[in-house]
Structure 1
Amino acid sequence: MALSARRLCHIAFHVPAEQPLARNLQRLFGFQPLAAREADGWRQLALRSGDAVFLVNQGAGPEEPLYGLDPRHAVSSATNLCFDVADAGAAARALAERGYHVPVPAVSVRDALGAATYAVVSSPAGNLSLTLLERAGYRGPFLPGFGPVPSVPGLGWVSHVDHLTLACTPGSSPTLMRWFHDCLGFRHLPLSPGEDPEQGLEVAAAPGRGGLRLTALDIPTCSAVPTLVLAESLSGVAGGQDQVQQFLARHRGPGLQHVGLYTPDILEATLGVARAGGQLLTPPEAYYQQPGKQRQILAAGHEPSLLARGGILLDGRKGKFLLQVFTKSLFPEDTFFLELIQRQGATGFGQGNILALWQSVQEQAARLQESKGQS
């Protein structure tokens, strides 16, 4: 019988001591320090924006960091997803009996504000692990073992985690889908009518240009758990690697490629990130020149020039729209990044944007090559 997660507690990262992830989350994206722990060679800092919590683990202590694992991965990485469950001990035992690897069996941590029990499960998705957490009644700002830290109220552009996207090796999505079902109760969420769970949604570019296979998962009974998206490459990419293949190469295996952070006002959030010095990806001009794109933007109640200036993408149909903008990588290896997303009734993940961006980049490259040939 599948277990069931009740909410996402936090997303953990493992970075070297000199990596500025925690500082950048505050300075560029409006996250605020929530709680900290320094022990056993580790500095662990939890940061929050709305209900989105990131835990940055720095160091390399002789023991595992509290509430997670040290994956000893070669590059900076998102390493752990932590979910609240009703009974962490029972969940860990049930998974171990099914043959899943549980490197940290249930352990309890207590301080003056209460107690929590957690266990850590290894995943089939590269260096990513899963923490099952039981913390009913804990009265502290974060988790037992962490102390409060001074915090200055920030702008708070982000309200919660909208979705999590894993870059997967080709053909691995069905295995991952079953694993997340067994561990947390995730189920297939169709992105198109009649979609085969084993096949997902194929977002194909022009012939010979490849594309992506997207498989979405959610927990239908729990809105506090973000949607999980499995992304893998379709064969047929010409002239180099696509975004998933690039992640697999640079990250040295599968893992969490990006986190979609929900914002109620993407124009304000994008402007704030840019003013703070955050680096956002700029789509090619051809994206905004697609037939019908400006009409679509106006129908959604936005000004095309403002979206283009911020690099904001818009996808929609039947009066429901999705706006999204992507940051450049937060790590020097050019791997993990963030997405800011605003929904106006849409429930998908910008499938139209994926295809349109793919095609516009290819068209822009072709025009550039043509102009070079004529010069």
Structure 2
Amino acid sequence: MAARARGLCHIAFHVPPGQPLARRLQRLFGFQPLAAREAGGWRQLALRSGDAVFLVNEGAGPGEPLYGVDSRHAVPSATNLCFDVEDPDAAVRALAAQGCRVSVPPASVRDAQGAATYAVLSSPAGNLSLTLLARAGYRGCFLPGFRPVPCVPGPGWVSHVDHLTLACTAGSSPALQRWFHDCLGFHHLPLSPGEDPELGLEVAAGSGRGGLRLTALQTPTCSTVPTLVLAESLSGATSTQDQVEQFLARHRGPGLQHIGLYTPNILEAAKGMVVAGGEFLMPPEAYYQQPGKERQIREAGHQLRLLAQQGILIDGEKGKFLLQVFTKSLFAEGTFFLELIQRQGATGFGQDNIRALWQSVQEEAIRSQEA
């Protein structure tokens, strides 16, 4: 029996004291402080843009940060996904009976604005844990135990989380798919017609450089849980690490590689973030010279010159298009990054864009090694 996730409450990060993630999310990407808490050696700050909420846990206290666990991971990373469920107590009993490891048993937290109950599960995806939360009727701005942080309205570049991508070890996607199905009710979302759920979508990088295997998962349509994408490397005749292998090495194992943030206007958002000091990966020069690319861009109602200036990728046909742009890593270790995504009718992920991202990450890695 799965614990049916009804929505994504927030995504939590663990960073050491002084790490600038919270400041960068505000200054570069338009997130605004929402609520804060300091206790037990932890400084916890929730930031929001639209319905996307990030919780930055800074420090390493003797206990656990509220609503999560301290993974004591070697590098800063996104460590926890918090989902809204109807009854954490019943969910934990059912999941524990299935063999799921419960890191924090159901606990209640209360303040003047109401109460919430939560529990934390360990996942098989590296250092990623899952929080199951019930907060019906809570009247505060975030969660019990946090104080509100006064702020001015942000630029509104981001409306919600579109998808979450996990970098996985080769061959682990089928087992992870079954785990997320059994625990939270995720099921296979085909990215191409007739796709085998066990094999996912294979995207070759070309010229014997391996490629990616992507397996997309979603919850029932009545929920607001973002799509979950499992990414693993395909073997290829190459002596260099690809982007997934680089993540696994630098992150010291599997984990959340990037978060896709939905924006209603990707040109405006990307331009605003660059003006604020944000940095995006630039696709290979040949990307915009591909046969039919300019026609595709015009059909989508955009100008090639403007997309190229920001490094925005586009894919799609028959009136349905997908636009994406990817930030450079938010951490010095070269691991986690953000994606801006705008959908004009498209629901999947463009294979042409995946190849362009693949090459962009590879070229950025080469430049960083040469610097």
Whether TM exceeds 0.5 here: the answer is yes
Aligned residue in 1 for 2:171: 171
Offset of residue 237 of structure 1: 4.5
Offset of residue 223 of structure 1: 4.5
Amino acid at match of 1:154: G
Could you tell me how far apart the structure 2 residues matched to 1:339 and 1:204 are?
21
2:214 counterpart SS class: strand
Cα 1:337–1:267 change in 2 (3 A) is: same
Offset of residue 218 of structure 1: 0.3
Could you tell me how far apart the structure 2 residues matched to 1:233 and 1:143 are?
38
Aligned residue in 1 for 2:37: 37
Q: Is the 8 A contact 1:7 1:222 kept in 2?
A: no
Aligned residue in 2 for 1:245: 245
Could you tell me how far apart the structure 2 residues matched to 1:320 and 1:54 are?
30
- 1:336 is aligned to 2:336: yes
Q: Is the 8 A contact 2:282 2:360 kept in 1?
A: no
Aligned residue in 2 for 1:313: 313
Could you tell me how far apart the structure 2 residues matched to 1:320 and 1:198 are?
27
- 1:269 is aligned to 2:281: no
Offset of residue 183 of structure 1: 1.5
Offset of residue 153 of structure 1: 1.2
Give TM-score scaled by structure 1 length.
0.95
1:209 counterpart SS class: coil
Say which is worse superposed, 203-212 or 245-254, in terms of deviation: 203-212
Q: Is the 8 A contact 1:284 1:361 kept in 2?
A: no
Aligned residue in 2 for 1:371: none
Offset of residue 114 of structure 1: 0.5
Offset of residue 349 of structure 1: 1.6
Unmatched 5+ residue regions in structure 1?
364-375
Aligned residue in 2 for 1:132: 132
1:103 counterpart SS class: strand
1:323 counterpart SS class: strand
Cα 1:73–1:347 change in 2 (3 A) is: same
Cα 1:42–1:118 change in 2 (3 A) is: same
Q: What are the Cα deviations for residues 267-303 of structure 1, in whole angstroms up to 9, with x where unaligned? A: 0000000000001111121111111111111110000
Offset of residue 318 of structure 1: 1.8
Offset of residue 350 of structure 1: 2.2
Could you tell me how far apart the structure 2 residues matched to 1:337 and 1:349 are?
17
Amino acid at match of 1:238: T
2:236 counterpart SS class: coil
Could you tell me how far apart the structure 1 residues matched to 2:287 and 2:239 are?
21
Could you tell me how far apart the structure 1 residues matched to 2:318 and 2:192 are?
15
Q: What are the Cα deviations for residues 312-361 of structure 1, in whole angstroms up to 9, with x where unaligned? A: 00011222100000000000000000000000000112222112455689
Aligned residue in 2 for 1:184: 184
Cα 1:163–1:59 change in 2 (3 A) is: same
Give TM-score scaled by structure 2 length.
0.96
Amino acid at match of 2:64: E
Aligned residue in 1 for 2:236: 236
Aligned residue in 2 for 1:142: 142
Q: What are the Cα deviations for residues 77-114 of structure 1, in whole angstroms up to 9, with x where unaligned? A: 00000000000111111111111110101000001110
Aligned residue in 2 for 1:205: 205
Aligned residue in 2 for 1:349: 349
Offset of residue 205 of structure 1: 2.5
2:102 counterpart SS class: coil
Could you tell me how far apart the structure 2 residues matched to 1:242 and 1:253 are?
15
Q: Is the 8 A contact 2:281 2:361 kept in 1?
A: no
Aligned residue in 2 for 1:302: 302
Cα 1:270–1:200 change in 2 (3 A) is: same
Aligned residue in 2 for 1:284: 284
Could you tell me how far apart the structure 1 residues matched to 2:19 and 2:59 are?
10
Q: What are the Cα deviations for residues 211-270 of structure 1, in whole angstroms up to 9, with x where unaligned? A: 100000001223411000000000014130111011000001000000000000000000
- 1:27 is aligned to 2:27: yes
Could you tell me how far apart the structure 2 residues matched to 1:246 and 1:322 are?
26
Q: What are the Cα deviations for residues 184-231 of structure 1, in whole angstroms up to 9, with x where unaligned? A: 111000111111111100011225210100000001223411000000
Q: What are the Cα deviations for residues 11-33 of structure 1, in whole angstroms up to 9, with x where unaligned? A: 00000111010011000111000
Q: Is the 8 A contact 1:211 1:237 kept in 2?
A: no
Q: Is the 8 A contact 1:287 1:357 kept in 2?
A: no
Say which is worse superposed, 171-180 or 73-82, in terms of deviation: 171-180
Aligned residue in 1 for 2:92: 92
Aligned residue in 2 for 1:366: none
1:157 counterpart SS class: coil
Alignment RMSD: 1.7
Could you tell me how far apart the structure 1 residues matched to 2:272 and 2:361 are?
27
Aligned residues: 365
**Which runs of structure 1 show a deviation greater than 2 angstroms over 4 or more consecutive aligned residues?**
220-223, 355-363
Q: Is the 8 A contact 2:243 2:362 kept in 1?
A: no
Amino acid at match of 1:124: P
Could you tell me how far apart the structure 1 residues matched to 2:361 and 2:47 are?
35
Aligned residue in 2 for 1:64: 64
Could you tell me how far apart the structure 2 residues matched to 1:359 and 1:74 are?
28
Q: What are the Cα deviations for residues 127-148 of structure 1, in whole angstroms up to 9, with x where unaligned? A: 0000000111100000000010
Aligned residue in 2 for 1:46: 46
- 1:105 is aligned to 2:108: no
Q: Is the 8 A contact 1:166 1:256 kept in 2?
A: yes
Cα 1:168–1:362 change in 2 (3 A) is: closer
Could you tell me how far apart the structure 2 residues matched to 1:186 and 1:179 are?
9
Could you tell me how far apart the structure 1 residues matched to 2:291 and 2:278 are?
31
Q: State, as a whole percentage, how many aligned pairs show the same letter.
A: 81
